[in-house]
């Protein structure tokens, strides 16, 4: 068997796999930051200044320390901040947004020795003899696992995702420790109760760390979209799937942003297909792949199809949530404020106890977010400042209207996916008739 030993695999950084080592990792980080705060604070006090604690905590050096430590630990420690900000992060200051942006980049891979240990645990000590080829250098490395190209003895090419050791066992402590670190910074207002979101983040991460569950979700989507003219979904390879290893057919494709080089019509078609899929997920499948990371989309130039990847964050959508969003969609299409308020109440985006002014501002935000569906014409996402206006309205709602309501987590994940699609549409300079795409559900 070949494992490309002639190539020089990256050294990587070992993932701390023990619970104590992960707790100590965050503890030592807090210690170094505290030391930096004391030194910087004393220096400023001697100059007669009275610095705010958030200013001392979030120096460029400390931001770098936090991002580097979380990226080294991977797992929940790397993902929790993104989950906290999955409503669009309107309330997050720039400093915390900078940390989260750093964590969206690829993680460093495991060293080869640690990778071999994980595979021996999953496949047995003689796992190499059962494969014709295994690349030591990963195709990609992210927060929970890294992906390798594999060829089986019979010549089948696979993509194999290998989970970092200790991720599953450390989710609860990682989420708690990182949340404490973020709370200490004072960046998240005390009025905002993120307890429910944190508990849901733990549950979501545990699902993402269950590769047998992801294999099931992968195959469900493969079946749902097997005859679709616009998408390719890999299929699992059960013989090599375990709770820590996910094996699937290898689908070769390009970065989705490569479609920027295609014609306007092709870009419009691709983005329209992705929006059509979103509506089908919410209203027909009642099942949504909720992670809008651009790395989860690849472009297959030979067929012109989009390859869909990474189904760990797939969620079932409750029926009442799907019905509420269909009512909200109709309200937006026909610009019916009363219907939109009723839909927002049924979903849980609003409570009956909210003031009339708060309700009006939420409806205004919803109508603005859905303005592309108001008219039966093409909407130019590339030229639109819609995302900036949504951000402005969301910030005003939070601070001016004292609106600290956290909606149902299912709604947050739907918004997270839709926000990612809007960002992709803007990046691709797409022009779409969203009303026509949504017509089957109106």
For residue 160, count other CB atoms closer than 10 A to its CB: 26
pLDDT the model gives residue 9: 43
Three-class secondary structure of residue 392 per DSSP: helix
Q: Which residue has the higher pLDDT, 421 or 57?
A: 421
pTM of the model: 0.79
pLDDT the model gives residue 80: 56
pLDDT the model gives residue 392: 87
Mean pLDDT to the nearest integer, 348-352: 93
Please report the DSSP string for 181-220 in residue order: HHHHHT-S-TT---HHHHHHHHHHHHHHT-HHHHHHHHHH
pLDDT the model gives residue 119: 96
Round to whole Å and give the CA distance between 324 and 289: 19
Query: In which region does residue 241 sit, left (phi positive, over 0), alpha (psi from -120 to 50) or beta (all else)?
Result: beta
Active site residue 68: no
Q: Of 3, 210, 291, 410, which is the active-site residue?
A: 291
Mean pLDDT to the nearest integer, 173-200: 69
Q: List C-alpha distances in Å: 354 to 88, 90, 196, 348.
A: 22, 20, 20, 11
**Distance between alpha carbon 439 and the CA centroid of its chain, in Å?**
28
Residues sharing a CB contact under 8 Å with residue 281, sequence separation 6 or more, in sequence order: 287, 288, 289, 317, 417
Sole residue written with tokens 């005859």:
227
Give the dihedral sign, CA 73/79/85/88.
positive
Round to whole Å and give the CA distance between 150 and 241: 13
Residue 106 and residue 10 in contact, taking contact as beta carbons nearer than 8 Å: no
Residue 258: CA atoms inside 13 Å, Cβ hemisphere, count? 13
Name residue 133's beta-bridge partners: 2, 151
Round to whole Å and give the CA distance between 442 and 438: 7
pLDDT the model gives residue 315: 93
Q: Is the pLDDT of residue 81 over 70?
A: no
Most confident of 10-24, 65-79, 388-402, 424-438: 424-438
Query: What DSSP character marks residue 245?
Result: E
Sole residue written with tokens 């699902």:
207
Residue 407: CA atoms inside 13 Å, Cβ hemisphere, count? 21
**Distance between alpha carbon 175 and the CA centroid of its chain, in Å?**
16
Q: Is the pLDDT of residue 53 over 90?
A: no
Q: Is the pLDDT of residue 339 over 80?
A: yes
For residue 163 the two structure tokens come to: 């989970």
Q: Is the pLDDT of residue 328 over 60?
A: yes
Q: How confident is the model at residue 183 (pLDDT cuts 50, 70, 90)?
A: low
Chain segment 390-427, per-residue pLDDT in tens: 888 888 887 777 777 878 889 988 998 998 899 899 99
| C-alpha closest to that of 82 among 215, 178, 162 | 178
């Amino acid at each position: 068997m070949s494992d490309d030993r002639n190539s020089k695999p990256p050294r990587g950084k070992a993932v701390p796999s023990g619970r104590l080592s992960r707790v100590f990792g965050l503890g030592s980080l807090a210690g170094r930051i505290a030391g930096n705060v004391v030194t910087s604070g004393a220096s400023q006090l001697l100059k007669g200044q009275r610095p705010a604690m958030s200013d001392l905590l979030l120096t460029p050096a400390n931001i770098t320390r936090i991002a580097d430590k979380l990226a080294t630990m991977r797992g929940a420690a790397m993902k929790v901040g993104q989950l906290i900000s999955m409503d669009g992060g309107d309330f997050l200051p720039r400093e915390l947004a900078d940390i989260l942006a750093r964590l969206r980049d690829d993680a460093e891979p495991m060293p080869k020795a640690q990778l071999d240990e994980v595979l021996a645990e999953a496949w047995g000590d003689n796992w190499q003899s059962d494969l014709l080829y295994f690349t030591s250098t990963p195709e990609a490395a992210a927060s929970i696992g890294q992906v390798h190209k594999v060829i089986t003895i019979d010549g089948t090419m696979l993509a194999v995702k290998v989970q970092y050791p200790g991720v599953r066992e450390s989710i609860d402590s990682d989420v708690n420790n990182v949340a404490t670190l973020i709370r200490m910074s004072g960046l998240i207002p005390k009025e905002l109760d993120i307890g429910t979101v944190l508990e849901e983040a733990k549950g979501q991460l545990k699902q993402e760390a269950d590769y047998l569950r992801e294999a099931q979700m992968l195959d469900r989507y493969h079946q749902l979209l097997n005859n679709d003219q616009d998408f390719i979904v890999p299929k699992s390879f059960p013989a090599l799937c375990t709770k820590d290893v996910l094996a699937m057919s290898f689908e070769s494709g390009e970065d989705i942003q490569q479609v920027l080089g295609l014609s306007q019509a092709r870009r419009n078609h691709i983005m329209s297909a992705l929006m059509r899929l979103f509506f089908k997920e919410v209203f027909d499948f009642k099942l949504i792949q909720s992670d809008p990371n651009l790395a989860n989309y690849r472009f297959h130039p030979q067929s012109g199809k989009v390859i869909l990847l990474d189904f760990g964050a797939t969620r079932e959508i409750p029926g009442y949530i799907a019905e509420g969003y269909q009512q909200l969609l109709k309200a937006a299409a026909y610009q019916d404020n009363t219907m939109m308020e009723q839909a927002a109440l049924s979903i849980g985006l609003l409570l009956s106890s909210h003031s009339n002014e708060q309700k009006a501002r939420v409806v205004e935000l919803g109508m603005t977010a859905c303005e592309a569906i108001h008219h039966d014409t093409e909407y130019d996402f590339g030229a639109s400042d819609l995302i900036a206006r949504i951000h402005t309205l969301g910030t005003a709602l939070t601070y001016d209207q004292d609106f600290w309501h956290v909606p149902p987590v299912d709604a947050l994940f739907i918004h997270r996916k839709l926000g990612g699609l809007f960002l992709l549409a803007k990046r691709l300079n797409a022009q779409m008739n969203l009303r026509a795409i949504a017509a089957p559900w109106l």
